Structure 1
Amino acid sequence: MTAARAALRLARHELLLTTSTLRWATRRGPHGVRAGEDLPVPYAAGQHAVTLCFLFASVVETVVLALLIPWPLVHLIALVLGVWGCWFVIALHASLAVRPHVIGADGSLRLRYGALLDIRIPAERIASARVERRYPATSPGAVDERGHADLAVAGQTTVTVELTEPIAFTRVLGATATARAFRCYAEDPGSAVAALRARARLDPA
């Protein structure tokens, strides 16, 4: 990826974080979910504790540096970076909350990780879905040697979706990857799997 494309992706991500935060603050409801048709599958609650820890650490760091740094210019730079860090933690949580996974009325599946990942899987590509708790130590969208992609939240996944054939998707930094199975986190994995099986007309496991 060229520097220009990387800069454009970063700018787009910042814009999506901002719009997600505004949607979250104004309680406008989840993004990309058609009322009465699609079923949102929330996952943000799995990261509440981690988000609070990061936010607390960012606030403490910002306050401490503001009190300790005596040089005006360095003080201003540290303050701006500290405030941006606090905003980023809140915006990331907001993007997770307002951009849930989505099970379409037609049985399709849209897997997301905030504003970073957006993967669409047609119903005819879904072979099976099951509740399965795993603890992968990978970044969002990472694909292992078996072609399984992980979208872990707070280091865990609760749903595994197997495909009839691999699909390509765009990873966080813009690279293209291919996976034949996806493991994601859902707050209520049992209900999510049951709904996906019913809408995609999958055989029970």
Structure 2
Amino acid sequence: MTAQRIHRGALVVAILTALTNAVLAAVGILAPGTAFVLWLAVELPLFALVVTVTVVRIRALRRSGASWNAVLDELAGPAAGLIRAELRAYRSLWLFARRRRDGLRDGMVAIGYTRGTMGMPIAFLIACVVETVAIHLLVPWPWLRTTLLVVSVYGFVPLLGILASRVVHPHLLDDARFVVRSGHQVVATLPVGTVEKALIHRRFQHTSPIVEDDVLYLPGSDGTNVDVLLREPIEVKLPYLLERRRTTTQVGRVALQVDDPEDLRAAFAALRSETGITSTG
């Protein structure tokens, strides 16, 4: 606990010192030369202290057997979930740029679910770009324009990553299982033998993930378009931004929004033919 307090205290002091120095230099109270001297004499040693304490704590936690997730939880506290989300956004952008799909291997079928769902996020992204350009043209102070530009770009990258996440994390189907995902989160893993059949069925009543009447709804912006009927209940874990807020339950049917429900139904039919699994419906 003492190490944690020292670490967080040093980090807070370092950040506040850097911000104070930057603001004073920006408004002209400190000359650029003076601000640079303060950076060398005060801020640089403080950040070096923070880095040293961070490395020492990481090594101590790893020696005690803590996983990397546990290390992040210990170091970042409540902010750990947001840090993970941001790192996953960067990873999704990297996969998208390389035209890769997470977890997709030979023999697997990728089932996309982004068609018709990107309109609103893309419109929001365009609005943010327009707002950034307007601020850059209207704000008269160069230092503030530059600051706002950096903050805006920093905000765009994770947003693009969230959009890319839905593309690079499709549902996955092979001869053993059907993995249902929402972005990077696995919502359910359905053994192929538990799948009775897939029916094309358009539903409009739900537009966000929910379990209702023994049915998992994993919709797009205009509902779901395919129902997967199960021979026996399976466990599902509802998606949520923060992992610790996700809830687990059992369902007997899964209603999904996919790009092409006919392709999904045909894929299940082909698997039943190959494996000898018969449908009772």
Select the residue among 206, 218, 227 that pairs with 1:160.
227
Compare the two structures and name the one with the higher strand fraction: 1
Partner of 2:18: none
- 1:131-176: CA deviation from partner (whole Å, max 9, x where unpaired): 112224443x3222x1322222233221111331141325313322
CA distance in structure 1 between the aligned counterparts of 2:78 and 2:102, rounded to whole angstroms: 25
Q: What is the TM-score of this pair, normalised by structure 1?
A: 0.80
Partner of 2:259: 187
* Number of corresponding residues: 199
The correspondence of residues 1-205 of structure 1 with structure 2, limited to 5 A, is: 7-27=79-99, 29-35=100-106, 37-70=107-140, 75=145, 78-106=148-176, 108-139=177-208, 141-144=209-212, 146-163=213-230, 164-172=232-240, 173-174=242-243, 175-180=246-251, 181-199=253-271, 201-203=277-279, 205=281
In the superposition, relative to structure 1, how do residues 103 and 64 fare at CA in structure 2: closer, same or farther (>3 Å)? same
**8 Å CA contact retained: 1:150, 1:183:** yes
**8 Å CA contact retained: 1:197, 1:203:** no
Q: Which amino acid aligns with 1:149?
A: L
**8 Å CA contact retained: 2:179, 2:190:** yes
Specify the SS of the correspondent of 1:131.
strand
Q: Which amino acid aligns with 2:222?
A: G
Q: Give how far 1:196 is off.
A: 1.9
Question: Which has the larger Rg?
Answer: 2
Partner of 2:23: none
Specify the SS of the correspondent of 2:258.
coil
Bigger relative contact order, structure 1 or 2, given CA contacts below 8 A and separation 6+? 1
**8 Å CA contact retained: 2:207, 2:220:** no
- 1:6-25: CA deviation from partner (whole Å, max 9, x where unpaired): 53332222222211111111
CA distance in structure 2 between the aligned counterparts of 1:61 and 1:49, rounded to whole angstroms: 18
CA distance in structure 2 between the aligned counterparts of 1:155 and 1:5, rounded to whole angstroms: 37
Q: Which one is further off, 15-24 or 71-80?
A: 71-80
Q: Which amino acid aligns with 1:124?
A: G
Q: Give how far 1:53 is off.
A: 1.4
CA distance in structure 1 between the aligned counterparts of 2:153 and 2:133, rounded to whole angstroms: 10
Q: Give how far 1:111 is off.
A: 1.0
Contiguous gaps of at least 5 residues in structure 2: 1-72
CA distance in structure 1 between the aligned counterparts of 2:192 and 2:261, rounded to whole angstroms: 18
